[in-house]
Each structure stands twice: as structure tokens, then as C-alpha cells.
Amino acid sequence: MGGLAVVRLFAGARDAAGTGRDEISGATVAAVLQSARVRYGPSFAEVLEHCQVWRNGEPCEPGDAVTATDEVAVLPPVSGGAR
């Protein structure tokens, strides 16, 4: 298993989880997100389905490795737009 990655949650993901920052174990992005689903429950899991996930400020894939020095950010889609 990987180290405790810092997970940053924004907007609806933060609201569903009840926190904006946590440390979650996992060897891959997918494992970290699965642990977050278990920790935060069905409301968070539903929001997560519509989110982008970035690792260290860059888009990532579920199979990407995660270490204790990594930050995984959960970014819900932004509503609205330019007029």
C-alpha cells in the first residue's frame, strides 16, 4: 500500500465529504478514491462520478501511482459560463 496521500476536495466534493483536506492511504489514484468513497459515503461517491481528478496539479489516470508526497485533488465540474 502507498503512503498517506494528501487529498484536497473542492466545491460539491468538499460539501459531500464534510472536509476540504484529508490524508488517505492508497498505492494508486483509484485506490485513494476508493478509500475516500468508503470514508465519506454514498453522497460523496455520487459527486465523485462527475469530478476531474488531478495529481500534483496535473490531470491523472486511475492507475497512476501515489506516494506520501503526492496531492490528489477532486475537482467537481464548474457550472455556469461566460456570457
pLDDT in tens, the chain (83 residues): 467 899 999 999 999 999 999 999 999 999 999 999 999 999 999 999 999 999 999 999 999 999 989 999 999 876 655 55
Residue 66 CA neighbour count, 13 Å, CB half? 30
Report d(CA 31, CA 27) in Å as an integer.
6
Domain boundaries, the chain: 4-75
Total-model pTM: 0.88
Looking at 3.10.20.30, 3.40.50.10210, 3.40.50.300, 3.40.1180.10, the CATH number of the domain 4-75 comes to 3.10.20.30
Q: How far is the C-alpha of 71 from the C-alpha of 41, rounded, in Å?
A: 21
Q: What is the DSSP letter of 34?
A: H
